[in-house]
Amino acid sequence: MDKIDRGILDEYLHDARLSFRQIARKLRVSTGTVLARTRRMKADGIIRGYSAILDAEKLGYELTAITELTVSKGKLLDMEKEVAKIPNVCAVYDITGLTDALVVAKFRDREELSNFTKTILAMPFIERSNTHIVLTTVKEDFRLL
């Protein structure tokens, strides 16, 4: 990746609706260059898709929960697959430390959070969970550049 590739990615991160021509103008390169490099980055898996950035709170998701999970030996992958299917789940991570995994999820209300917690604890390979409620979101942006 060079400066032009990074510039293309930066433009997509700021506005994924921009045309190849608009990006080319901003970066002072040809439209063909932007098109070819975008195709290459898609083929290489660097660009996996295009998306809008939504405000979860304005959509009614008032609660963000971060849940630590301790999983039965050898069942981590099974747990990840099951938990990742739950619609409220935004992220599932294997982690180091005292627990095995971390789940970030968003909920409209306490009832949704309660149902989520009960669903997690009902899974046979979950030994223990510890849920934290986010009080204030200072920064939440997974764009890298």
115-125 tens-digit pLDDT: 999 999 999 89
40-82 tens-digit pLDDT: 999 999 999 998 888 999 999 999 999 999 998 888 999 999 9
In the DSSP assignment, the letter for residue 16 is T
The structure tokens listed for 64 are 């963000």
Whole-structure pTM over 0.95, yes or no? no
Return d(Cα 47, Cα 133) in angstroms, integer.
32
The structure tokens listed for 112 are 């949704």
Return d(Cα 122, Cα 125) in angstroms, integer.
9
Domains, the chain, with CATH or none: 3-43 (1.10.10.10), 63-133 (3.30.70.920)
- Binned at pLDDT 50, 70 and 90, residue 145 comes out as low
86-98 tens-digit pLDDT: 999 999 999 999 9
